[in-house]
């Protein structure tokens, strides 16, 4: 294989398109996740308005999913795991907060979230690419339960 990034046969992009895509996807979660940290009481109130029990716990979980998933996605170290974390967060928040289908703005928010999930599924399917920490990671912590390691083991790399 003569390509440099693995995105398609003959590609010479070096993975920079995958890196930029991961950064653009993760930026949203990084910024909003940090906003949850800096406005924790307000976020707890918002989470409570969604009908979640124990809103403090769910706020902490949301912060972990958003910031943790975004960092994994940007660095490319276990990007598939990070993408799954962000998919989980986005799917739950879509069902909880964007379910008023008669409201056009809520429909747009729901469709936006579905598009984000689509982009994250692309990362799950194809991985982080060569411009990632995962590419240089020779020792994986996850074994058979880690999405990145399962792909690496099945591809023989």
11 in a structural domain = no
9 in a structural domain = no
> Angle at the Cα of 122 (from 104 to 141), degrees rounded to 5?
125
56 in a structural domain = yes
User: What is the distance between the alpha carbons of residues 157 and 123, in angstroms, rounded to a whole number?
Assistant: 18
Backbone dihedral angles phi then psi of residue 131, each to the nearest 5 degrees: -90, 70
6 in a structural domain = no
122 in a structural domain = yes
Give the tens place of pLDDT for each residue, 55-92.
Answer: 999 999 999 999 999 999 999 888 999 999 999 999 99
User: What is the distance between the alpha carbons of residues 128 and 78, in angstroms, rounded to a whole number?
Assistant: 8
User: What is the distance between the alpha carbons of residues 17 and 108, in angstroms, rounded to a whole number?
Assistant: 27
| pLDDT of amino acid 157 | 42
Domain count, the chain: 1
pLDDT beyond 80 at 104: yes
149 in a structural domain = yes
Average pLDDT, the chain: 83
pLDDT beyond 50 at 25: yes
Domain of 55, in residue numbers: 16-155
Give the tens place of pLDDT for each residue, 105-134.
Answer: 999 999 999 999 999 999 998 888 877 776
pLDDT bin (cut points 50, 70, 90) of residue 135 is low
Question: Between these two residues, 147 and 128, which has the higher pLDDT value?
Answer: 128
Distances (CA, A) of 57 to 20, 50, 129, 141: 32, 13, 34, 27
The Cβ of residue 132 has, within 10 Å, a number of other Cβ atoms equal to: 23
Joined tokens for residue 49: 């308005």
22 in a structural domain = yes
41 in a structural domain = yes
Q: Which residue bears the tokens 């990362």?
A: 123
């Amino acid at each position: 294989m003569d390509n440099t990034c693995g995105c398609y046969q003959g590609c010479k992009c070096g993975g920079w398109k995958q890196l930029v895509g991961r950064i653009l996807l993760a930026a949203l979660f990084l910024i909003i996740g940090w906003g949850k940290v800096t406005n924790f009481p307000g976020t707890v109130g918002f989470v409570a308005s969604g009908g979640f029990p124990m809103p403090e716990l769910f706020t902490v979980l949301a912060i972990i999913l958003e910031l943790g998933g975004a960092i994994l996605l940007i660095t490319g170290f276990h990007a598939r795991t990070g993408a799954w974390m962000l998919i989980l967060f986005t799917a739950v928040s879509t069902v909880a907060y964007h379910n008023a289908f008669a409201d056009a703005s809520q429909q747009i928010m729901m469709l936006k979230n579905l598009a984000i999930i689509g982009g994250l599924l692309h990362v799950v399917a194809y991985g982080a690419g060569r411009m990632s920490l995962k590419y240089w990671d020779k020792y994986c912590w996850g074994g058979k339960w880690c999405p990145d390691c399962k792909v690496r083991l099945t591809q023989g790399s």
